[in-house]
Amino acid sequence: MNKIAFLFFISFTLFTSCQKQTFKNIDVEEVLGTDYFPLHIGDWWVYQVDSIIYDLEKNKVLHDTIHTTVKLIITDTFSLGDDIHAFKVERFQRAFDSAPWKALDSWWAAKDEVGAWSNEGNLLFQKLTFPVKIGRRWEGNAHIGEHVSLMVHEDILEQVFDGWTYRYVALIQPEKIGGVSYDDVITVREVDNTLDAPPSFDYQKAYSKYAKGVGLVYKKWILLHDIDTSPDPSIPFADRAEEGFFLEQTLLEYHVQ
Protein backbone atom coordinates (compact mmCIF):
# COMPACT_ATOMS: atom_id res chain seq x y z
CA MET A 1 0.00 0.00 0.00
CA ASN A 2 1.54 3.35 -0.98
CA LYS A 3 1.52 6.33 1.36
CA ILE A 4 -1.32 8.20 -0.34
CA ALA A 5 -3.59 5.20 -0.36
CA PHE A 6 -2.74 4.36 3.25
CA LEU A 7 -3.53 7.91 4.42
CA PHE A 8 -6.80 7.80 2.51
CA PHE A 9 -7.72 4.53 4.23
CA ILE A 10 -6.92 6.00 7.67
CA SER A 11 -8.96 9.13 7.06
CA PHE A 12 -11.88 7.14 5.66
CA THR A 13 -11.87 4.85 8.70
CA LEU A 14 -11.77 7.77 11.11
CA PHE A 15 -14.59 9.52 9.25
CA THR A 16 -16.91 6.54 9.21
CA SER A 17 -16.23 5.63 12.81
CA CYS A 18 -17.34 9.08 13.92
CA GLN A 19 -20.69 8.88 12.18
CA LYS A 20 -23.66 8.56 14.50
CA GLN A 21 -25.41 5.23 14.04
CA THR A 22 -29.19 5.45 13.73
CA PHE A 23 -31.61 2.55 13.62
CA LYS A 24 -35.10 2.73 12.18
CA ASN A 25 -37.82 1.18 14.30
CA ILE A 26 -39.52 -1.60 12.39
CA ASP A 27 -43.31 -1.68 12.47
CA VAL A 28 -43.97 -5.41 12.60
CA GLU A 29 -47.65 -5.02 11.73
CA GLU A 30 -46.69 -2.91 8.72
CA VAL A 31 -44.08 -5.38 7.51
CA LEU A 32 -46.12 -8.54 8.02
CA GLY A 33 -49.58 -7.11 7.30
CA THR A 34 -51.13 -8.43 10.50
CA ASP A 35 -53.25 -5.29 10.82
CA TYR A 36 -55.53 -6.61 8.08
CA PHE A 37 -56.80 -9.03 10.71
CA PRO A 38 -57.23 -7.02 13.95
CA LEU A 39 -58.14 -8.87 17.13
CA HIS A 40 -59.01 -7.11 20.39
CA ILE A 41 -61.58 -7.81 23.08
CA GLY A 42 -64.52 -5.51 22.38
CA ASP A 43 -64.09 -5.36 18.61
CA TRP A 44 -67.26 -6.01 16.62
CA TRP A 45 -68.45 -6.19 13.01
CA VAL A 46 -71.93 -6.18 11.48
CA TYR A 47 -72.46 -7.81 8.08
CA GLN A 48 -75.26 -8.03 5.57
CA VAL A 49 -75.41 -11.66 4.46
CA ASP A 50 -77.30 -12.62 1.30
CA SER A 51 -77.48 -16.21 0.18
CA ILE A 52 -79.23 -18.45 -2.34
CA ILE A 53 -79.50 -22.15 -1.53
CA TYR A 54 -79.99 -24.61 -4.39
CA ASP A 55 -82.19 -27.51 -3.33
CA LEU A 56 -83.26 -30.36 -5.60
CA GLU A 57 -86.73 -31.61 -4.72
CA LYS A 58 -88.85 -33.91 -6.91
CA ASN A 59 -86.77 -33.19 -10.02
CA LYS A 60 -87.14 -29.46 -9.49
CA VAL A 61 -84.44 -27.13 -8.23
CA LEU A 62 -85.70 -24.67 -5.63
CA HIS A 63 -83.79 -21.45 -5.05
CA ASP A 64 -84.23 -20.38 -1.44
CA THR A 65 -83.12 -16.75 -1.03
CA ILE A 66 -82.15 -15.62 2.47
CA HIS A 67 -81.28 -12.12 3.67
CA THR A 68 -80.01 -11.63 7.20
CA THR A 69 -77.70 -9.52 9.33
CA VAL A 70 -74.90 -11.08 11.37
CA LYS A 71 -72.88 -9.49 14.16
CA LEU A 72 -69.51 -10.75 15.39
CA ILE A 73 -68.19 -9.65 18.79
CA ILE A 74 -64.85 -10.55 20.37
CA THR A 75 -65.68 -11.25 24.00
CA ASP A 76 -62.75 -13.14 25.51
CA THR A 77 -59.27 -14.52 24.95
CA PHE A 78 -57.52 -17.75 25.87
CA SER A 79 -54.16 -19.39 25.28
CA LEU A 80 -53.42 -21.85 22.50
CA GLY A 81 -49.93 -22.43 23.87
CA ASP A 82 -46.54 -21.22 22.57
CA ASP A 83 -47.46 -17.62 23.49
CA ILE A 84 -50.34 -17.61 20.98
CA HIS A 85 -53.67 -16.24 22.15
CA ALA A 86 -56.99 -17.03 20.55
CA PHE A 87 -59.98 -14.70 20.73
CA LYS A 88 -63.51 -15.92 21.28
CA VAL A 89 -65.86 -14.60 18.60
CA GLU A 90 -69.57 -14.72 19.44
CA ARG A 91 -72.01 -14.57 16.52
CA PHE A 92 -75.50 -13.09 16.57
CA GLN A 93 -78.17 -12.85 13.89
CA ARG A 94 -81.32 -10.92 13.14
CA ALA A 95 -83.69 -10.85 10.18
CA PHE A 96 -84.27 -7.06 10.10
CA ASP A 97 -82.90 -3.94 11.77
CA SER A 98 -85.51 -3.57 14.50
CA ALA A 99 -85.41 -7.24 15.51
CA PRO A 100 -83.43 -8.29 18.60
CA TRP A 101 -80.11 -10.05 18.13
CA LYS A 102 -80.27 -13.81 18.62
CA ALA A 103 -77.21 -15.83 19.57
CA LEU A 104 -75.99 -18.19 16.85
CA ASP A 105 -72.76 -19.79 18.04
CA SER A 106 -69.17 -18.95 18.88
CA TRP A 107 -65.97 -19.29 16.89
CA TRP A 108 -62.41 -18.35 17.67
CA ALA A 109 -59.71 -16.49 15.77
CA ALA A 110 -55.97 -16.07 16.23
CA LYS A 111 -52.87 -14.84 14.46
CA ASP A 112 -49.13 -15.38 14.72
CA GLU A 113 -46.09 -14.62 12.58
CA VAL A 114 -47.22 -17.29 10.11
CA GLY A 115 -50.78 -16.23 9.43
CA ALA A 116 -54.30 -15.41 10.58
CA TRP A 117 -56.59 -18.26 11.61
CA SER A 118 -60.34 -18.65 12.01
CA ASN A 119 -62.01 -21.71 13.54
CA GLU A 120 -65.54 -21.75 12.17
CA GLY A 121 -67.77 -24.61 13.25
CA ASN A 122 -64.68 -26.73 14.07
CA LEU A 123 -63.20 -26.04 10.63
CA LEU A 124 -59.83 -24.29 10.92
CA PHE A 125 -59.12 -21.93 8.02
CA GLN A 126 -55.87 -20.02 7.51
CA LYS A 127 -57.39 -16.81 6.22
CA LEU A 128 -54.13 -14.92 5.61
CA THR A 129 -50.46 -15.72 5.38
CA PHE A 130 -47.71 -13.32 6.46
CA PRO A 131 -46.05 -11.33 5.14
CA VAL A 132 -48.78 -10.11 2.83
CA LYS A 133 -47.33 -10.12 -0.68
CA ILE A 134 -48.90 -10.07 -4.14
CA GLY A 135 -49.04 -13.50 -5.73
CA ARG A 136 -48.13 -15.35 -2.54
CA ARG A 137 -49.94 -18.69 -2.20
CA TRP A 138 -50.83 -20.99 0.68
CA GLU A 139 -53.04 -23.96 1.45
CA GLY A 140 -55.67 -22.21 3.52
CA ASN A 141 -57.73 -25.35 4.14
CA ALA A 142 -54.82 -27.65 5.00
CA HIS A 143 -55.89 -27.97 8.66
CA ILE A 144 -59.43 -28.98 7.77
CA GLY A 145 -58.42 -32.36 6.48
CA GLU A 146 -59.22 -34.11 3.24
CA HIS A 147 -62.62 -35.14 1.93
CA VAL A 148 -64.63 -32.93 4.30
CA SER A 149 -68.27 -32.61 3.28
CA LEU A 150 -70.50 -29.60 3.84
CA MET A 151 -74.18 -29.93 4.68
CA VAL A 152 -76.29 -27.38 2.79
CA HIS A 153 -79.91 -27.63 3.82
CA GLU A 154 -80.56 -31.36 3.26
CA ASP A 155 -77.88 -31.84 0.60
CA ILE A 156 -74.24 -32.78 1.09
CA LEU A 157 -71.46 -31.18 -0.93
CA GLU A 158 -68.71 -33.78 -1.06
CA GLN A 159 -65.04 -32.81 -0.61
CA VAL A 160 -66.01 -29.18 -1.02
CA PHE A 161 -62.82 -27.74 0.52
CA ASP A 162 -60.32 -30.00 -1.24
CA GLY A 163 -57.64 -28.45 -3.42
CA TRP A 164 -58.14 -24.80 -2.49
CA THR A 165 -54.97 -22.75 -2.99
CA TYR A 166 -55.31 -19.27 -1.55
CA ARG A 167 -53.53 -16.41 -3.29
CA TYR A 168 -53.17 -12.64 -2.87
CA VAL A 169 -54.45 -11.14 -6.13
CA ALA A 170 -54.67 -7.44 -5.16
CA LEU A 171 -52.94 -5.30 -2.53
CA ILE A 172 -53.39 -1.77 -1.17
CA GLN A 173 -56.38 -1.02 -3.35
CA PRO A 174 -58.92 1.72 -2.54
CA GLU A 175 -62.43 0.29 -2.67
CA LYS A 176 -65.96 1.28 -1.77
CA ILE A 177 -67.79 -1.58 -0.10
CA GLY A 178 -71.21 -1.38 1.51
CA GLY A 179 -71.24 2.39 0.97
CA VAL A 180 -67.96 2.84 2.87
CA SER A 181 -64.67 3.86 1.22
CA TYR A 182 -61.52 2.07 2.31
CA ASP A 183 -58.04 3.26 1.34
CA ASP A 184 -56.19 -0.03 1.68
CA VAL A 185 -57.88 -3.31 0.74
CA ILE A 186 -56.29 -6.66 -0.09
CA THR A 187 -58.06 -9.40 -2.03
CA VAL A 188 -57.59 -13.11 -1.41
CA ARG A 189 -58.64 -15.58 -4.08
CA GLU A 190 -59.36 -18.73 -2.11
CA VAL A 191 -60.49 -20.83 -5.06
CA ASP A 192 -61.69 -20.23 -8.61
CA ASN A 193 -61.97 -23.24 -10.87
CA THR A 194 -63.51 -21.15 -13.65
CA LEU A 195 -60.21 -19.52 -14.64
CA ASP A 196 -58.82 -22.30 -16.83
CA ALA A 197 -61.95 -23.80 -18.37
CA PRO A 198 -65.72 -23.90 -17.79
CA PRO A 199 -66.37 -26.40 -14.98
CA SER A 200 -68.43 -29.49 -15.72
CA PHE A 201 -69.75 -30.75 -12.39
CA ASP A 202 -68.55 -28.36 -9.68
CA TYR A 203 -68.45 -24.58 -9.78
CA GLN A 204 -66.18 -23.13 -7.07
CA LYS A 205 -65.42 -19.46 -6.69
CA ALA A 206 -64.43 -17.87 -3.36
CA TYR A 207 -62.91 -14.44 -2.77
CA SER A 208 -62.46 -12.39 0.42
CA LYS A 209 -61.39 -8.77 0.94
CA TYR A 210 -59.71 -7.31 4.03
CA ALA A 211 -59.22 -3.64 4.86
CA LYS A 212 -56.23 -2.45 6.84
CA GLY A 213 -57.13 -1.83 10.47
CA VAL A 214 -60.67 -3.16 9.89
CA GLY A 215 -60.57 -6.83 8.95
CA LEU A 216 -62.91 -8.71 6.64
CA VAL A 217 -65.03 -6.25 4.64
CA TYR A 218 -66.37 -8.50 1.89
CA LYS A 219 -66.71 -12.18 1.10
CA LYS A 220 -68.25 -13.98 -1.85
CA TRP A 221 -68.55 -17.75 -2.11
CA ILE A 222 -70.24 -19.63 -4.96
CA LEU A 223 -70.13 -23.40 -4.44
CA LEU A 224 -72.46 -25.26 -6.80
CA HIS A 225 -72.79 -28.85 -8.00
CA ASP A 226 -74.46 -30.36 -11.06
CA ILE A 227 -75.40 -34.01 -10.47
CA ASP A 228 -76.19 -34.61 -14.14
CA THR A 229 -73.84 -37.29 -15.51
CA SER A 230 -73.82 -35.54 -18.91
CA PRO A 231 -74.00 -31.81 -18.19
CA ASP A 232 -74.68 -29.39 -21.00
CA PRO A 233 -71.80 -26.83 -20.96
CA SER A 234 -73.78 -24.43 -23.14
CA ILE A 235 -76.12 -23.75 -20.21
CA PRO A 236 -74.77 -21.32 -17.60
CA PHE A 237 -73.77 -23.22 -14.48
CA ALA A 238 -76.02 -21.14 -12.24
CA ASP A 239 -79.00 -22.25 -14.35
CA ARG A 240 -78.21 -25.98 -14.31
CA ALA A 241 -76.78 -26.39 -10.79
CA GLU A 242 -78.87 -28.61 -8.54
CA GLU A 243 -77.03 -28.36 -5.23
CA GLY A 244 -74.95 -25.81 -3.38
CA PHE A 245 -75.17 -22.16 -2.47
CA PHE A 246 -74.27 -18.59 -3.30
CA LEU A 247 -73.19 -16.39 -0.38
CA GLU A 248 -72.27 -12.72 -0.25
CA GLN A 249 -71.18 -11.03 2.99
CA THR A 250 -70.74 -7.25 3.15
CA LEU A 251 -69.53 -5.20 6.11
CA LEU A 252 -72.04 -2.55 7.19
CA GLU A 253 -70.50 -1.15 10.37
CA TYR A 254 -67.74 -1.98 12.80
CA HIS A 255 -65.78 -0.97 15.88
CA VAL A 256 -62.09 -1.85 16.04
CA GLN A 257 -59.74 -0.54 18.69
Is pLDDT at 12 greater than 70 in this prediction? no
Does residue 121 lie in a domain region? yes
Please, which residues bridge with residue 155 across strands? 152
The answer to whether position 19 is within a domain reads: no
How many beta carbons lie within 10 A of that of residue 19, not counting itself?
Answer: 7
How far is it, in rounded angstroms, from Cα 43 to Cα 71? 11
The answer to whether residue 17 sits within a structural domain is: no
**Does 209 map to a domain?**
yes
Domain assignment present for residue 11? The answer is: no
In a domain, 2, yes or no: no
- What is the number of domains present in the chain? 1
Per-residue pLDDT tens digits for 168-222: 999 999 999 999 999 999 999 999 999 988 888 899 999 999 999 999 999 999 9
CA nearest 105: which of 78, 70, 77?
Answer: 70
In a domain, 163, yes or no: yes
Dist. CA 158–CA 236, nearest whole Å: 22
Let me know if residue 87 belongs to a domain: yes
What's the domain range around 179?
Answer: 27-255
Of 80 and 127, more confident:
127
Check if the beta carbon of residue 89 is closer than 8 Å to that of residue 107: yes
Q: Identify the CATH number of the domain in which residue 217 sits.
A: 2.40.360
The mean-pLDDT minimum among 78-87, 92-101, 118-127, 131-140 falls in: 78-87
